Amino acid sequence: MNVLLTGSAGFIGSHIAEALTAAGHHVRGLDTRPGPHGTSTGVPGGPADGPAVGDVRDADAVARRLEGVDAVCHQAAKVGLGVDVSDLPDYASVNVQGTAVLLAQMARAGVGVLVLASSMVVYGEGAYTCDRHGAVRPGPRPEEALRAGRFEPGCPACGRPLDPAAVGEDTPPDPRNAYADTKLAQEHLAASWARATGGTVAALRYHNVYGPRMPRDTPYAGVAAIFRSRLANGREPLVFEDGGQRRDFVHVRDVARANVLALEHAATTSPTTTSPTTTGPGALGPGALGPGALRAYNIASGRPRTVGDLAAALAAAVDGPAPRVTGDYRLGDVRHIVARPDRARHELGFTATVTFEDGIAEFARRPVTSS
């Protein structure tokens, strides 16, 4: 297939470009920055396909890149939690307006397959159970509790301690920062586009992605890059809260492979790439990926770790100083968010293959980059 890849020069996008090319697809990039080594596709050493530098909010640039394209893999976004409300216009402009422009141009070009980079942040806090009230969704943690070192959310009904559980894709969204708001808005826009055009959307809700080319000093970097940068300078990693926050760390090469699998699966169910007999009523299972709807997938390893585990593993991999738990916190952070990746395994054939131990050891020894 001919695939337009937005965000092709980025951390995740450049790995997706490589994976798509290796799978035999032709990648056409679009990014506000040139691709690695001056290539236009985002693939190091990959074939050029016209100028790839452009903004997803530029309708003319998007229309040019969509000519002759069979499918779109949309990675371009402004990332990070946001610092304060002054960040809202930038997040809305890049993530919401940019996605709206892309979808409108896809409709005009007759491109009916989309793989959308979504995020675990749409869930807010993860799933929890109370021994009295069953499954509950706690609200944002009050700052006075965080200041006092009470980091675990309590039951919204009785205040008792909760047991964290894994979220599935049908968990109601509960975004809690500017980035999360706009990622959910992207999903809503893509679902509206699918209903209006009969298009097919696979929304991949990435969990904590790490790996080679992860930048040090951009909002997306997250704790893995921050910890590694401190260790590279001979300083101990600083762990917020008590280090017990649970996350699912998934390697970027696994995320890239998930995009290829989702793209190929979506293409087989799209009316633009299959015969009517394979996409008619009853051809797809209930809720399966298909025309006219968005289907969400958790892209995760299924093996959660704590932030403290991550810091310790990185320090051990480079024989660096032990992490220091600071008790500091950030408003807008959630305590635990881990996922069930069963749907991606059953429907897309995706299972993460890079172990935490191997991935962290590789990541710890890679040079730290500034962008």
**CATH number attached to the domain at 2-126+167-365:** 3.40.50.720
Closest CA to 211 of 9, 42, 356, 44: 356
Spatial distance between the Cα atoms of 333 and 335, rounded to a whole number of angstroms: 7
* Enclosing H/E stretch for 322: none
The residue-averaged pLDDT of 59-64 equals: 96
| Residue-level pLDDT at 87 | 83
Question: b or e along 153-166 (b: 16 or more beta carbons within 10 Å of the residue's beta carbon)?
Answer: bbbeeeeeebebeb
One-letter amino acid of 329: Y
SS3 call for 176: coil
Domains in the chain: boundaries = 2-126+167-365
Tell if the pTM clears 0.75, that is, is over it: yes
Taking only the tens place, the pLDDT of each residue in 275-323 is 333 333 223 344 688 899 999 999 999 999 999 999 999 999 999 999 9
Cβ atoms of 219 and 305 within 8 Å: the answer is no
Looking at the DSSP bridge assignments, the partners of residue 164 are 128
Cα atoms in the 13 Å half-sphere on the side-chain side of 317:
23
